Amino acid sequence: MNRLTPLEIQRATFPRRLQGFDPDAVREFLSQIAEQAEDDARLRGELRAQVARLGREIEEYKERADAMKDALGAAERTAEATIARAEAEAQRIITETQTLADRIIEEATRRAENIEAVTGQLRGRRRSARADLKRLAELLAGAARDDESVEQRENEVPSVAVLRPRAREKREG
């Protein structure tokens, strides 16, 4: 059976019979039914439009949710990759720093050993120089003593008497 439109309900006609219904009352009733059918049809149309709009919104929200899930997944993958790279870089830096620290400690130890060796050599040179100074001081002291002895002997012998002839001394005597 086909659905009747509100206009078909309003224009409906019925055959007349004796002692039938009041045609004005029937038309009034049919008019009310037509208005209600029209209201119902308009409401159904509005509801269908609203359902369609809400369906589109739901689809848009689903698409946004999917896009957000994809973005979140990409962000998580990017974060994990970034963390992995940062951890690898940190490990590389730690390894390089440890190697450098070991090399610096080794170099410092080698320099300290060289300094100790040079210090030992300098101490030996100082002892040798001190011994040389003592010998030189003894030589100088001996030279000074010898010079004092010579000076004392020179003071005992008059220098003018050495210049006078000895023969004259015998004649006068």
**Cα dihedral value 104, 106, 107, 109, nearest 10:** 120
Asked whether residue 25 is assigned to any structural domain, the reply reads yes
**Cα dihedral value 102, 104, 107, 108, nearest 10:** -110
Domain span at 53: 6-11+21-134
Asked whether residue 165 is assigned to any structural domain, the reply reads no
Asked whether residue 31 is assigned to any structural domain, the reply reads yes
Asked whether residue 162 is assigned to any structural domain, the reply reads no
The conformation of residue 1, written as its DSSP 8-state character, comes to -
Q: Flag whether the pTM goes above 0.85.
A: no
Task: Tell me what pLDDT residue 164 has.
Answer: 57
> Which spans in the chain are helix H?
6-10, 23-156, 159-163, 167-172
Distances (CA, A) of 64 to 25, 57, 78: 57, 10, 20
User: What Rg value do the Cα atoms of the chain yield, rounded?
Assistant: 67
Written as six digits, the tokens of 45 are 């149309």
The dihedral region occupied by 22, where left means phi > 0, alpha psi between -120 and 50, and beta the remainder, is beta
Task: Tell me what pLDDT residue 120 has.
Answer: 94
Per-residue pLDDT in tens (0 to 9) along the chain, 173 residues: 577 777 887 777 777 777 777 778 888 888 888 888 889 889 999 999 999 999 999 999 999 999 999 999 999 999 999 999 999 999 999 999 999 999 999 999 999 999 999 999 999 999 999 999 999 999 999 999 999 988 888 877 666 655 555 555 555 54
- Report the C-alpha gap between 31 and 56 in whole angstroms: 37
8 Å CB contact between 10 and 34: yes
Asked whether residue 67 is assigned to any structural domain, the reply reads yes
Task: Tell me what pLDDT residue 111 has.
Answer: 95
Domain total of the chain: 1
**Cα of 86 vs its chain's centroid, Å:** 9
